[in-house]
C-alpha cells in the first residue's frame, strides 16, 4: 500500500458497536441467480460460493507467501518495482497461473521516475538530517536554500494566525504534522514570507508527504521524522541556520502488470480483482502486499477448477503501486481509451494488506455509512461492499469500515466510474480499545508495526488474518462470477454468440511519475 498522504482510517467505529450491520444489503448471492436468461442465452451456472470459500485455505495462501519470501531473500531482501525481486515475483505468479490453466499477459507501462539528487536538512552546527521532498513540491536550487529557521505559534502552522507576530520573511519554516493538509501548511508559510518549509512527523518514521497538486507553492517543501524534527525545533529556537536541499531529475522507466482471466464466463460482464505485487525497497513486503497477492493467486488457482462460469473473472497483479499507483492507473487509462472496455468491468475488488499482525477486519466503506468519501462513489460500489460484509455477517465475523479514500489501486477505477470495494487489515493507524474488543490484539500500537520496513517479513504476517480474509475473497469471487445483478442489473451467462475475446494490452502506455532515492524509493 502506498504510504499515507492524507489522514485516513480514523478510529471511528460507530457502525460496529452493534457487532453486525442489519442495515446493509445482503450479498449478491442471497438474491439467487438474479433472473432467468433471455432467449438465446445459455443456462445459468451457479457456484456454491460457501463451498468455494472453504477451498481457498490458509495453507494454500501460505505456500505462495513462502515463495515470495524466498524470492525477497534471494534478491537483496526486497521485491520492489524495477528490481530483480519484482521480476522473480512476477515469474512465480505467471508460472503458478499457467500451471492452473490460465493464459497470462504482461501489461507494460512507461513512466517518469523521479531520481533524487539531494534530500537533506543541514544545520549550521554540522548536523545533517534526512528529509523527503514532498510530491508536487518544487526543487531547491543546487546547493539548497540557506536561511534562519522559524517556528509557528501553534506548532502546526496551518493558517496565517499561526504566524502572527513571528518573523518569517526569508526563513525556513519548521512545522509539525497534524490538524490540516500539508499543502495548507506550505501555503500559509510561504504567504508569511518563508523561503522553504519542513514538516516533521508525529511518529518516528520519515514523513513522505504530498501537496496534492502542482503549482501550489514556489518554495521547497520536505518531510522528516519526529525525533529529527524536534531536534531541529530546538536548533531553530537557539538561532541555528538551516540549509534545505531537495532536488530530483526524471528518468523514463518501464514496468508491467500481470493480468489473467478465466476462460469461462461472459466477457461483456467482467468481475475484476487486483492486488499490487511490488513492495518497498526497505523490506520483503510480505504483508504489503505479498498477502493480497498470495490470496488472489490462490483464489485464481482454485477458480480455474470451475469449468463453467456466468461471468469472466479477471485477475491483476499491479506493478509500481509503491511508486504512486502507477501500474493500475496506466491500465485503467488504457482501457478508458478503448471504446467499451471499461463498460465491460462490472466491478473491481482490491486486496492490499490482508495479513497485518495487529489486524482489523476492514472493508472499504463504499456505502459511506461511516466515512464520507473524498470522491464521487460509482453506483454499484455499495452493493459490491455488501457482498463482502454479507459474508462476514453470515459467518459471525466482526468487521469495520475503512475509508474509501483511493489510497490503493482501486483509485483509478472509481475515478473512471467503475464500482469498487475491497478488504484491508490495517497499516499505520493505531489500534484502538474498541478494535481490540472486536479483533483482539494490542491497543496503542499500529495495525502493522512493520509497515514499509525490513520487518515486513513472513514471520510478521498473521495466519489468523489470512484465515479470515482468504475465504471472504473467495466467497465474493464465486458470488460475483455467478451474478452481478445487484451491482449492475446483469444476470445469467449472456448471449454466447457475442464474444469480444479477452482484453489484451497495447504495445505499452505511459502514465505518471514515480520517485527514486539513489537506487529506488517510493513516492507515495
Q: What digits encode the pLDDT tens for the residues 132-163?
A: 999 999 999 999 999 999 999 999 999 999 99
Is 469:295 a contact under the CB 8 Å cutoff? yes
- What pLDDT is recorded for position 204? 85
pTM of the model: 0.81
Residue 497, φ and ψ in degrees, nearest 5:
-80, -10
The full set of domain ranges for the chain reads 33-112+253-517, 125-239
Torsion sign across C-alpha atoms 217, 220, 222, 228 = negative
- What pLDDT is recorded for position 507? 42
- What pLDDT is recorded for position 407? 85
- What pLDDT is recorded for position 205? 87
| Topology agreement, domain 33-112+253-517 and domain 125-239 | no
Q: What digits encode the pLDDT tens for the residues 372-428?
A: 999 899 999 999 999 999 999 999 999 999 999 888 999 999 999 999 999 999 998
- What pLDDT is recorded for position 296? 98
Cα–chain center distance at 285:
13
Residues annotated as catalytic are 321
Q: How many residues does the structure list for the chain?
A: 524
- What pLDDT is recorded for position 34? 29
- What pLDDT is recorded for position 1? 78
* H helix or E strand, kind and range, residue 355: none
- What pLDDT is recorded for position 221? 98
CATH superfamily, domain 33-112+253-517, is: Zn peptidases (3.40.630.10)
Cell numbers for 323, please give them: 511508486
- What pLDDT is recorded for position 85? 98
Q: Which residues of 464-499 are buried (b: 16+ CB within 10 A; e: fewer)?
A: ebbebbbbbbbbbbbbbbbbbbbbbebbbbbeeeee
**CATH code matching the domain that covers 125-239, chosen among 3.50.30.30, 2.120.10.30, 3.40.50.2020, 1.10.150.300:** 3.50.30.30
pLDDT beneath 50: ranges in the chain: 4-41, 496-501, 507-509, 511, 513, 515-524
Is 209:131 a contact under the CB 8 Å cutoff? no
Q: What digits encode the pLDDT tens for the residues 283-318?
A: 999 999 999 999 999 999 999 999 999 999 999 999
Amino acid at each position: 500500500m502506498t504510504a499515507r498522504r492524507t489522514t485516513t482510517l480514523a478510529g471511528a467505529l460507530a457502525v460496529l458497536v452493534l457487532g453486525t450491520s442489519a442495515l446493509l444489503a445482503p450479498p449478491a448471492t442471497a438474491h439467487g441467480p438474479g433472473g432467468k436468461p433471455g432467449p438465446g442465452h445459455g443456462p445459468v451456472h451457479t457456484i456454491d460460493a460457501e463451498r468455494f470459500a472453504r477451498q481457498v485455505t490458509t495453507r494454500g495462501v501460505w505456500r505462495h507467501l513462502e515463495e515470495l519470501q524466498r524470492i525477497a531473500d534471494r534478491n537483496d531482501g526486497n521485491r520492489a518495482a524495477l528490481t530483480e525481486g519484482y521480476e522473480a515475483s512476477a515469474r512465480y505468479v505467471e508460472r503458478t497461473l499457467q500451471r492452473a490453466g490460465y493464459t497470462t499477459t504482461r501489461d507494460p507501462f512507461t513512466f517518469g521516475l523521479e531520481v533524487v539528487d539531494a534530500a537533506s536538512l543541514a544545520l549550521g552546527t554540522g548536523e545533517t538530517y534526512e528529509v523527503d521532498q514532498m510530491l508536487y513540491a518544487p526543487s531547491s536550487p543546487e546547493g539548497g536554500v540557506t536561511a534562519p529557521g522559524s517556528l509557528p505559534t501553534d506548532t502546526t502552522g496551518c493558517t496565517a494566525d499561526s504566524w502572527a507576530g513571528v518573523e518569517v520573511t526569508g526563513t525556513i519554516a519548521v512545522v509539525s504534522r497534524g490538524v490540516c493538509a500539508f499543502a495548507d501548511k506550505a501555503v500559509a508559510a510561504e504567504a508569511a514570507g518563508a523561503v522553504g518549509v519542513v514538516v516533521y512527523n508525529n511518529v518516528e518514521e520519515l514523513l513522505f508527504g504530498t501537496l496534492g497538486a502542482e503549482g501550489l507553492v514556489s518554495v521547497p517543501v520536505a518531510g522528516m521524522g519526529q525525533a529529527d524534527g524536534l531536534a531541529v525545533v530546538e536548533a531553530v529556537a537557539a538561532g541555528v541556520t538551516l540549509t534545505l536541499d531537495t532536488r530530483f531529475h526524471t528518468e523514463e522507466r518501464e514496468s508491467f502488470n500481470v493480468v489473467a482471466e478465466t476462460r469461462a464466463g461472459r466477457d461483456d460482464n467482467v468481475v475484476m480483482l487486483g492486488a499490487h505485487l511490488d513492495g518497498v525497497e526497505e523490506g520483503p513486503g510480505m504483508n504489503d502486499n505479498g498477502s493480497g497477492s498470495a490470496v488472489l493467486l490462490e483464489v485464481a488457482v482454485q477458480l480455474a477448477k470451475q469449468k463453467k462460469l456466468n461471468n469472466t473473472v479477471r485477475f491483476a497483479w499491479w506493478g509500481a503501486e509503491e511508486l504512486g499507483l502507477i501500474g493500475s492507473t496506466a491500465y485503467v487509462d488504457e482501457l478508458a481509451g478503448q471504446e467499451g472496455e471499461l463498460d465491460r468491468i462490472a466491478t473491481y475488488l482490491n486486496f492490499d494488506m490482508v495479513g497485518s499482525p495487529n489486524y482489523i477486519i476492514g472493508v472499504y466503506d463504499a456505502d459511506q455509512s461511516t466515512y464520507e468519501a473524498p470522491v464521487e462513489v460509482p453506483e454499484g460500489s455499495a452493493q459490491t461492499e455488501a457482498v463482502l460484509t454479507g459474508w462476514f455477517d453470515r459467518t459471525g465475523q466482526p468487521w469495520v469500515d475503512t475509508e474509501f479514500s483511493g489510497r490503493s489501486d482501486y483509485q483509478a477505477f472509481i475515478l473512471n466510474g467503475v464500482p469498487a470495494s475491497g478488504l484491508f487489515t490495517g497499516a499505520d493507524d493505531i489500534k484502538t480499545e474498541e478494535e481490540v474488543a472486536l479483533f483482539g490484539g494490542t491497543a496503542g500500537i499500529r495495525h502493522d508495526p512493520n509497515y514499509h520496513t525490513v520487518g515486513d517479513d513472513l514471520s510478521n504476517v498473521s495466519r489468523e488474518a489470512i484465515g479470515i480474509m482468504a475465504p471472504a475473497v473467495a466467497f465474493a469471487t464465486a458470488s460475483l462470477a455467478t451474478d452481478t445483478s445487484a451491482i449492475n442489473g446483469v444476470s445469467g451467462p449472456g448471449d454466447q454468440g457475442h464474444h469480444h475475446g479477452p482484453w489484451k494490452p497495447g504495445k505499452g502506455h505511459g502514465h505518471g511519475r514515480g520517485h527514486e532515492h539513489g537506487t529506488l524509493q517510493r513516492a507515495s
